Structure 1
């Protein structure tokens, strides 16, 4: 039909995209992706995250499903209607549908972030294939980085891919690796922090139409640091939008008293001291659409000691002078090592309780390991999760 023939001055084509969750299937790697996993996640870690992402509703959101501090994924179906806009009005002249995923891996022991992205399941159709050759359609993915901090972030050589749909079908997956150099040392006074914010835009084009771009379809933030003490990986990377998670079980006899104290503070604050009408205590991991109130690590020793003294006064007021020995300790929640502690936080939103000394020490050891393994630094948010049966 004449109205569908290309007319550069009169014809404009728009592609309108909508994101949905999808069933993921691995796509073949691009030719220059032969060493895709070298130095980054293992093949099993890659496949595990891909599988875990499959049925997560959050994977369709802009930031994707934030599985933990070291991995996230995004999965979406792109549905594009191609319109002719001319003097006769607007009508659909074709469709372009495809799926894509993005997997992000922050290294716990390197200053490195790996991004894997794929386009697959491409289906293109023009109503008049004689007027428009679908094989000339192109799909574009572009990553834009914003960086800050005391050390630089090294970006990959290629941050954009613009290929014909046939090339995407043959090699649908490609990889980007971002790194940040360090000066060889590490520790609290030499953290060499670097922040990276990534945004991915997608687009589609055809030589007979105007191109289309959808900005910010995926976003993520990473932090590189060299803050770990000796005995731990000195250098590492975390996904900055993901709070840490400290977990204890009520069914673990080694920490059952600490776990019960935290459970009561989070769920039955009326059973805790000090007593206040309407008392609520932060830190519980949110469920569903609940709004979270995370704790935040605090490394200042003087303030931690001040938190312990404030909690200790409550224990003394309630139980007498019994919590200063090895057999019995005054346990505080939120922890002394947080900005929500008995002195540094809301003084009506904490709990102190006498518990067994060994129990308290083991829970404290697990908390320290959580800080170290999840690279939770001063000011970083984290939640506290209590499992098991109260």
Structure 2
């Protein structure tokens, strides 16, 4: 080799390094190709796809290759429960209303509210996150774009690639009838940069790991992993795997015969001509199995076993503004008042704090037949407080409702203080709400010590404003001071405006105070009972009042479902 030629090679390498085509680390790793889950970001996905089409490495865009999941071994029941309760995810339960019959209030039939399509999954909040989207106890999903880069040839450490890309979506289904969980998955929007890649084989395998008992993770042999060529996946783009759990013996520490299983997708692509094989793993999710015999709904519904996604705290939803839930109105108003204004409830106590609201400490169910003493203490303390607080009231046709519920560890006695509320409500509302709560426990598999929140969908006052009957002195439009609209409850979809005193026929506009520009009119010609879209700000004011005869008036603003 000539001296000139020997010097020429390092010069070329230095040129590639200096011009940013590669780094020493990239040059070493790139020759093996790679597998990636693209960030859940439209712009980044488009950029990575463009690099793939150009035959370049996605690593140039700063996206890291996927790291395979590791099995972590068995854990204690306490550790598994703690992990589930550390999750900040919640989901709202949508249950149909109870029905009035000659036997009294009876629950609606149980019905799964499953994620039914990959499109529904992809539109779900957090479906592309590191924890996925838990719609409810029985439906979980995760969706991500997978990309494989297969090296074709390399020159002086600079490699060119062919690529395979697709949208992978998995939907997990639990059960309220068996210790069985199934995963349905799809491969969609397949893109290859060279027709030869249609012959590459892609295997989808859902991996499971037992976490508490050896029998927690049993893949059904009738639904093995699926391997197809890319061309075959284009024609048949779905698959299913089923997992079973053996019920362990009941013990004092595990009376509900709980089992736990982690699972995750493992996708392997094989391209024989290029001698290329690469595996990428999706996120982990956990399933809890149980054989709790007390999952019962009046009068004759039994749910002996179940499989649920328990890394999200349920929200017991009470939509009392809907006409079909009117029988729950009195009870729901009590629960909401207790959570929103605890110091105004009976029995009175300075500094009273009542848990249960979304964003606050949750309630935890107490299975009353397993803890009869504690339940009896809750009932006794509530009864004593009711007799004392309502001794002079006419209680005909009424019953004493308590919140938090006696069937929770935050009940009147078990909370350790007087952090509870009592109120007289009609027997009908008390009976209906009790049956509905008990039914929900069974339908959602709320076991002993399981946490949950309570949310009552009712109008919530978020602002009170006093307005003059005409623009303030020196003002062309403004008739009130600035007021704030914020902290809108998650269930609210509209704002309602009410005139509570003064001329009830008054009409007015709402403007936004802009310190550096022209004030904008947000709402026009409002009156008592007006409903508008939701707008939030700290700098709204009432403007241009009419039909007031110069009299001042007060407006209340409510967030409504």
Question: One fold, TM greater than 0.5?
Answer: yes
- Whether 1:307 and 2:378 are equivalent positions in the alignment is yes
2:203 is matched with 140
1:201 is matched with 266
Structure 1 position 335, deviation (Å): 0.9
Deviation string, structure 1 residues 105-125 (Cα, Å, up to 9, x no partner)? 112223321211111221121
Deviation string, structure 1 residues 297-316 (Cα, Å, up to 9, x no partner)? 11122111212233344444
For 2:332, which of 243, 259, 267 is the aligned residue? Answer: 259
Structure 1 position 209, deviation (Å): 5.5
Q: Distance in 1 between matches of 2:115 and 2:378?
A: 44
Does the aligned pair in 2 maintain the 1:56–1:65 contact within 8 Å?
yes
2:409 is matched with 339
- Whether 1:179 and 2:244 are equivalent positions in the alignment is yes
Deviation string, structure 1 residues 24-80 (Cα, Å, up to 9, x no partner)? xxxxxxxxxxxxxxxxxxxx9877354532421311123322111111222222244
- Whether 1:297 and 2:297 are equivalent positions in the alignment is no
Does the aligned pair in 2 maintain the 1:141–1:161 contact within 8 Å?
yes
- Whether 1:16 and 2:89 are equivalent positions in the alignment is no
2:495 is matched with none
Does the aligned pair in 1 maintain the 2:399–2:425 contact within 8 Å?
yes
Deviation string, structure 1 residues 185-220 (Cα, Å, up to 9, x no partner)? xxxx97444333222233434342654333342523
Change (3 A) 1:250 1:180: same
Report the RMSD for the aligned CA atoms in angstroms.
3.7
Structure with greater Cα Rg = 2
Does the aligned pair in 1 maintain the 2:115–2:171 contact within 8 Å?
no
Change (3 A) 1:201 1:219: farther
Q: Distance in 1 between matches of 2:360 and 2:152?
A: 47
Please, which moves more after superposition, 216-225 or 67-76? 216-225
TM-score, normalized by length of structure 2? 0.54
Deviation string, structure 1 residues 294-353 (Cα, Å, up to 9, x no partner)? 322111221112122333444445434769x77333322111111222222363643232
1:120 is matched with 188
Structure 1 position 91, deviation (Å): 4.8
- Whether 1:360 and 2:430 are equivalent positions in the alignment is yes
Aligned-partner SS, 1:212: strand
Change (3 A) 1:124 1:280: farther
For 1:75, which of 143, 159, 182 is the aligned residue? Answer: 143
Structure 1 position 389, deviation (Å): 3.2
- In structure 2, runs of 5+ residues without a counterpart are 1-27, 43-111, 249-253, 461-561
1:36 is matched with none
Aligned-partner SS, 2:311: coil
Q: Distance in 2 between matches of 1:261 and 1:155?
A: 47
Q: Distance in 2 between matches of 1:333 and 1:146?
A: 40
Residue-pair matches, total: 348
Structure 1 position 379, deviation (Å): 1.6
Deviation string, structure 1 residues 139-183 (Cα, Å, up to 9, x no partner)? 333322223359655322255334332232222211112234679
2:304 is matched with 234
Change (3 A) 1:49 1:86: closer
Structure 1 position 255, deviation (Å): 2.1
Deviation string, structure 1 residues 256-288 (Cα, Å, up to 9, x no partner)? 22101111122233332344555443222x4xx
Q: Distance in 1 between matches of 2:403 and 2:152?
A: 63
For 1:225, which of 291, 308, 317 is the aligned residue? Answer: 291
Q: Distance in 2 between matches of 1:115 and 1:171?
A: 16
1:213 is matched with 279
Structure 1 position 102, deviation (Å): 1.0
Please, which moves more after superposition, 298-307 or 104-113? 104-113
- In structure 1, runs of 5+ residues without a counterpart are 1-7, 23-43, 184-188
Please, which moves more after superposition, 255-264 or 243-252? 243-252
Change (3 A) 1:316 1:88: farther
Aligned-partner SS, 1:240: coil
Q: Distance in 2 between matches of 1:384 and 1:135?
A: 51
Q: Distance in 2 between matches of 1:368 and 1:306?
A: 19
Does the aligned pair in 2 maintain the 1:265–1:281 contact within 8 Å?
yes
Does the aligned pair in 1 maintain the 2:317–2:457 contact within 8 Å?
yes
Change (3 A) 1:327 1:46: closer
Structure 1 position 9, deviation (Å): 12
Change (3 A) 1:218 1:193: closer
Does the aligned pair in 2 maintain the 1:12–1:85 contact within 8 Å?
no
Q: Distance in 2 between matches of 1:85 and 1:293?
A: 58
Does the aligned pair in 1 maintain the 2:179–2:306 contact within 8 Å?
yes
1:65 is matched with 133
2:228 is matched with 163
Q: Which has the higher contact order (CA 8 A, sep 6+)?
A: 1
Change (3 A) 1:213 1:280: farther
Q: Distance in 1 between matches of 2:411 and 2:448?
A: 14
